[in-house]
């Protein structure tokens, strides 16, 4: 990491703060200026909110703005847009698409969601059946999506749809940008085991999408979606975190607050899980350093897999520490949160919410296959549907 690059970024931050006082500036105006200065995603290309710097320097720039009291830009509400959509548009979008979508995404003027999973194709994303049929310069889309975060507030969505049912499942997909305000889009809440409706199901009926809103070539939707998924898994399992944070912090606090519940066996398990969580945190730091100049790879699947396992074991241990008090659950409230706090609310909520960690962002079963085949180089699993047209597959 060059000191000259850090000094240049520091000067740019100071110059922006001098022109736009963060204590009085309108948040949208401030973040437009930050994007134009290349201080939104510093590893993005110049002119697209970045400076072409190393990815790791983003934390340095963010800290400078945070210390100055700069306004937030709906990172909690627009996490899908910031962490998944933006790098996908940079990697696969046309120059016109990059110019159209990245700036309002960064400023929070447009909120994004992700239309991937379906009721009949959950773990096997390549088997999605939502159809997109060409009609002149447009595509007509019909189908159903499920487990869609913030769909009820989103302006736009990234959409994976089948454009050629006569080709094998991975080859017949295309990737689109969908306007969630289209009259053919219907969003319904999905109430979870926690009581809240964090996710949605989305019905698409004759939704018309211009071909100019296609990302990547026709039939290359799987390649584009892989970029999105790798960034999603890195965002879930590889985010920057201080020592003893997140769910681990909540469980450690419960342990310290309940000395009368201590046993040698629980103590040993807590120490083992603490070490595993710390190892995961350090591995995530190393992954961010290794991918500072490029896109996340299959290693992000291993981190997301470890994150889910750690959260579930820690929250289970927390209930054991509390004994019968851990069975009490008073949070059955129908709310539609803007963000997910895995460590928030009470122990019962943490335990129930952690069950979703092994589903969202790719199921743990699928991620184990990815790690085995693409990281460890083990023989691939036998797949009888690899060369069969999607329309001929049993469903």
pLDDT at 235 exceeding the cut of 70: no
The last residue of one of the domains, among 48, 74, 107, is: 107
- What is the token pair recorded at 265? 């066996």
Whether residue 324 is contained in a domain is answered as: yes
The two tokens of residue 97 are 């698409």
What CATH number is attached to the domain comprising 64?
1.10.540.10
E runs forming strands in the chain: 112-115, 131-135, 138-145, 156-162, 173-179, 185-190, 199-210, 214-215
Q: In this structure, are 286 and 370 located in the same domain?
A: yes
Residue 239 CA to residue 85 CA, distance in Å, equals 16
**Tens-place pLDDT, residues 340-379:** 778 878 899 999 999 988 888 778 888 888 888 888 888 9
Looking up residue 283, the CATH number of its domain turns out to be 1.20.140.10
Mean pLDDT of the region 19-43: 94
Q: Does residue 347 sit in the same domain as residue 305?
A: yes
pLDDT at 294: 52
Tens-digit pLDDT profile for residues 107-156? 999 999 999 999 988 678 899 999 999 999 999 999 999 999 999 999 99
Q: Tell me whether residue 232 is one of the annotated catalytic residues.
A: yes
- Any domain includes 391: no
Per-residue confidence (pLDDT) for residue 81, from 0 to 100:
94
Q: Quick one: which of 367, 346, 118 has its CA closest to 237?
A: 367
Final residue before a domain boundary, out of 107, 138, 159: 107
Q: Is residue 315 part of a domain?
A: yes
Q: How many domains does the chain have?
A: 3
Measured distance CA(128)–CA(117) in Å, rounded: 7
Please give the Cα distance from 75 to 139 (Å, whole number): 31
338 lies in the same domain as 306: yes
State whether 87 and 128 are in the same domain: no
**Cα–Cα distance measured from residue 377 to residue 368, given in angstroms and rounded to the nearest whole number:** 12
Judgement on whether residues 358 and 245 belong to the same structural domain of the protein: yes
Residues 215 and 273 reside in one and the same domain: no
Could you tell me if residue 337 is inside a domain? yes
Of 133, 203, 217, 138, the closest CA to residue 175 belongs to 217
**Both tokens of residue 322?**
């509390």
Give the mean model confidence (pLDDT) for residues 167-171. Answer: 95
Active-site hit among 110, 196, 201, 232? 232
- Please, which residues bridge with residue 173 across strands? 162
Under the banding of pLDDT at 50, 70 and 90, the label for residue 292 is very low
Return the CATH number at 145: 2.40.110.10
Note whether 34 and 92 are same-domain residues: yes
When pLDDT is cut at 50, 70 and 90, the band that residue 283 belongs to is: confident
Residues 353, 231 share a domain: yes
Domain span at residue 352 reads: 225-375
350 inside domain: yes
Q: Are residues 320 and 348 in the same domain?
A: yes
Does 181 share its domain with 203? yes
Contact in structure between 128 and 160 (CB atoms under 8 Å) = yes
pTM: predicted TM-score of the whole model, two decimal places: 0.86
Q: What is the mean pLDDT of the chain?
A: 89
Q: Could you tell me if 232 and 209 lie in one domain?
A: no
- The answer to whether residues 118 and 101 belong to one domain is no
The answer to whether residue 240 is domain-embedded is yes
Q: Among residues 126, 115, 122, 182, which one has the least CA distance to residue 149?
A: 115
**End residue of a domain, out of 198, 219, 240:** 219
Q: Is residue 381 situated within a structural domain?
A: no
Q: In this structure, is residue 385 part of a structural domain? A: no
- Averaged pLDDT for residues 202-231: 95
Q: Is pLDDT at 253 greater than 90 in this prediction?
A: yes
């Amino acid at each position: 990491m060059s000191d000259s690059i850090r000094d240049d970024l520091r000067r740019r931050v100071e110059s922006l703060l001098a022109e736009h006082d963060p204590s009085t500036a309108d948040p949208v105006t401030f973040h437009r200026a930050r994007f134009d200065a290349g201080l939104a995603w510093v590893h993005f290309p110049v002119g697209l909110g970045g400076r072409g710097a190393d990815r790791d320097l983003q934390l340095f720039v963010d800290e400078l703005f945070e210390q100055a009291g700069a306004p937030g830009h709906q990172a909690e509400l627009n996490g899908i847009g910031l962490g998944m959509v933006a790098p996908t548009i940079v990697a696969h979008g046309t120059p016109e698409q990059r110019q159209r979508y990245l700036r309002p995404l960064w400023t929070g003027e447009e909120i994004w969601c992700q239309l991937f999973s379906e009721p009949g194709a959950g773990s096997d994303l390549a088997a999605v059946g939502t159809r997109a049929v060409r009609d002149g310069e447009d595509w007509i889309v019909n189908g159903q999506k499920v487990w869609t975060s913030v769909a009820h507030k989103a302006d736009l969505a990234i959409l994976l749809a089948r454009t050629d049912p006569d080709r094998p499942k991975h080859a017949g997909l295309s990737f689109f940008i969908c306007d969630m305000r289209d009259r053919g889009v219907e969003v319904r809440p999905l109430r979870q085991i926690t009581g809240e409706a964090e996710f949605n199901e989305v019905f698409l009926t004759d939704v018309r999408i211009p071909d100019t809103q296609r990302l990547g070539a026709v039939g290359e939707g799987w390649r584009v979606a892989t970029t999105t998924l790798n960034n999603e898994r890195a965002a879930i399992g590889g985010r920057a975190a201080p020592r003893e944070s997140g769910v681990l912090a909540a469980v450690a606090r419960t342990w310290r607050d309940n000395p009368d519940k201590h046993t040698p066996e629980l103590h040993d398990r807590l120490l083992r899980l603490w070490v595993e969580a710390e190892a995961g945190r350090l591995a995530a730091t190393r992954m961010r350093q290794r991918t500072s100049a490029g896109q996340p790879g299959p290693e992000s699947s291993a981190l997301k897999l470890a994150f889910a396992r750690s959260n579930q074991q820690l929250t289970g241990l927390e209930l054991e520490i509390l004994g019968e008090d851990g069975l009490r659950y008073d949070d059955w409230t129908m709310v539609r949160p803007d963000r997910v706090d895995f460590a928030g609310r009470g122990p019962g909520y943490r335990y129930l919410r952690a069950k979703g960690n092994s589903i969202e962002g790719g199921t743990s079963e699928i991620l184990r296959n990815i790690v085995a085949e693409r990281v460890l180089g083990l023989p691939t699993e036998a797949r009888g549907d690899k060369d069969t047209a999607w329309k001929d597959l049993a469903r």
